[in-house]
C-alpha cells in the first residue's frame, strides 16, 4: 500500500509564500506539515484569510500569522490535558502563540492535535 500524498490548497501555499518574515514562513510550513502528517485525509482551505484544516468537514486546526507571532489553534480540545503555560483559549479550542526564536516541541504539539482530531 502506498502512502497518499497530502492534498495541498494553492491558496494556503500562496498565503504562506506571502508571509514577509522568514521565521514565520518556516513555522507556518512546519505546522502545515505537522497537520498533514498527524491527520490522515485532512483537507485545507483559506477561510477568513487564514489557513484552516478540516477533518470530516469539521475544524481541526488554524494557522494565523500576526505581527509578533504565529498562532496555531487546535479545535475539539475539550477534555485534553493542556500545558497551561503555553496554551490559551476556551476549553473547546486552544491556541499556542509561537514567537521568533521560541523552541517548539512539535512532537508534543502533534500528539495533542492527534488526540483532539481523533474524535472528529
Whether residue 53 contacts residue 8, with contact meaning beta carbons closer than 8 Å, is answered with: no
The whole-number average pLDDT for the span 95-100 is: 97
Length of the chain: 120
Instruction: Give the confidence band of 4 by pLDDT, cuts at 50, 70, 90.
Output: low
Share of the chain above pLDDT 70, in %: 96
* pLDDT at 3 exceeding the cut of 60: no
Place of cell 507556518: 28
Query: What phi and psi values does residue 26 have, to the nearest 5 degrees?
Result: -60, -45
Helix (H, G, I), strand (E, B) or coil at 96: strand
Helix (H, G, I), strand (E, B) or coil at 97: strand
pLDDT reported for residue 83 = 86
Instruction: Give the confidence band of 1 by pLDDT, cuts at 50, 70, 90.
Output: very low
Span 30-60, pLDDT tens digits: 999 999 999 989 999 999 999 999 999 999 9
The 3-class SS string of 38-93 reads HCCCCEEEEECCEEEEEECCEEEEEEEECCCCEEEEEECCCCCCCCCCCEECCCCE
* pLDDT at 71 exceeding the cut of 90: yes
* pLDDT at 29 exceeding the cut of 80: yes
Amino acid at each position: 500500500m502506498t502512502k497518499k500524498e497530502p492534498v495541498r490548497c494553492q491558496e494556503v501555499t500562496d498565503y504562506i509564500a506571502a508571509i514577509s518574515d522568514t521565521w514565520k514562513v518556516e513555522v507556518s510550513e512546519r505546522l502545515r506539515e505537522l497537520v498533514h502528517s498527524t491527520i490522515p485525509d485532512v483537507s485545507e482551505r483559506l477561510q477568513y484569510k487564514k489557513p484552516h484544516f478540516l477533518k470530516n468537514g469539521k475544524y481541526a486546526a488554524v494557522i494565523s500569522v500576526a505581527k509578533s507571532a504565529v498562532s496555531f489553534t487546535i479545535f475539539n480540545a475539550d477534555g485534553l490535558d493542556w500545558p497551561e503555560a503555553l496554551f490559551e483559549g476556551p476549553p473547546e479550542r486552544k491556541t499556542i502563540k509561537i514567537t521568533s526564536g521560541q523552541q517548539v516541541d512539535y512532537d508534543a504539539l502533534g500528539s495533542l492535535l492527534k488526540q483532539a482530531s481523533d474524535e472528529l
